[in-house]
Structure 1
Amino acid sequence: MGTIKYGWPKLESHAREYADKVEKRAKQIVLETAQIIQAQVKARAPRDGGHLIDSVTLEIENGGYTAVVHVGAFYAIYVNYGTGIYAEGPGGSRAKKIPWVYFSEKLGRFVTTSGMRAQEFWEPAVDAGERHFMREMRRF
């Protein structure tokens, strides 16, 4: 019996080229998704002093396969989920006493409050990013 060698001389180079294109597109989709989330967070977040919006950052990790959108303002969670009697999300309010009094540096005086309504910006931004990610991954 004889020996047969089967294949396509350029198969290996085409396979590598295809893999490179897939990798490049996957990384592009990850970056686009993170940019959409970052832009949506900045567009939806309240603009009182600008610190919340300025604290939104985007980092690329894992060679481009992972992107992290981070909101650095310590009070972002309170803005997004509300406080006091208006608190939403897991656990609701953790206030020990409602109403409470605090000093507002912005107003220069003490303020009594029962809480602040949620000004949701995080979940809608993540949802928009997820829709983009799923749509683009299905296409490709």
Structure 2
Amino acid sequence: MGSRITYGSRKLKRAFGRYREDVELHVKRVVRETATLIVTEVKARMPRDSGAMQDSVTLTIQDDGLTAIIHIGAFYALYVNYGTGIYAEGPGGSRAKKIPWVYFSEKYQRFVTTSGMRSQEFWDPAIDIGAHYFIREMGRM
């Protein structure tokens, strides 16, 4: 037979239980608000041509509200954010085999020669704003 020794009263245990629930609700609220802020910032900072890139941004909340996943579905978002060719600033730099290169532009209906496109950064500034908000709000508990 084992024995169990507990300290405190039932009132104290209930108070700790309520505090834990309050903390969890606070964290879930901050996660949701931070993710929503990042999505808003990303969309506002993206260059707008057809609006397809903004429309491809989605937010999914998982793990009962403790995890937020932001996904950008437009395959070219990486190139817009980090640049291409001689202007590439992102992970790994340029992967162009030949600079300058030629491609057919659907928009202009002609062949175009380019050395790349400058970055139009939207991701990192939005993450920085979200991180600042997250840290400030978590400190308010």
Name the TM-score class by shorter chain.
over 0.9
Q: How does 1:70-85 map to 2 (within 5 A)?
A: 70-85=71-86
Partner of 1:138: 139
For residue 139 of structure 1, give the secondary structure of its aligned residue in structure 2: coil
Q: How does 1:12-27 map to 2 (within 5 A)?
A: 12-27=13-28
Task: Report the more deviating stretch, 7-16 or 79-88.
Answer: 7-16
Q: How many residues align?
A: 136
Once the two structures are superposed, residues 40-69 of structure 1 have per-residue CA deviations (whole angstroms, 9 ceiling, x without a partner) of: 000000101111100111000111000011
Q: How does 1:79-94 map to 2 (within 5 A)?
A: 79-94=80-95
Amino acid at match of 1:88: E
Amino acid at match of 2:112: V
Could you tell me which runs of 5 or more consecutive residues in structure 2 were left unpaired when the two chains were aligned.
1-5
Amino acid at match of 2:26: R
Structure 2: how far apart are the matches of 1:106 and 1:22?
Answer: 52
Q: Give me the identity figure in percent.
A: 64
Give the Å deviation of 1:107. 1.2
Structure 2: how far apart are the matches of 1:30 and 1:9?
Answer: 32
Q: How does 1:1-140 map to 2 (within 5 A)?
A: 7-140=8-141
Give the Å deviation of 1:119. 0.1
For residue 60 of structure 1, give the secondary structure of its aligned residue in structure 2: strand
RMSD: 1.3
Structure 2: how far apart are the matches of 1:41 and 1:6?
Answer: 50
Structure 1: how far apart are the matches of 2:96 and 2:10?
Answer: 71
Amino acid at match of 2:53: L
Give the Å deviation of 1:6. 6.0
Could you tell me which runs of 5 or more consecutive residues in structure 1 were left unpaired when the two chains were aligned.
none
Provide runs of 4+ in structure 1 moved above 4 Å: none
Q: What is the TM-score with the length of structure 1 in the denominator?
A: 0.92
Q: What is the TM-score with the length of structure 2 in the denominator?
A: 0.92
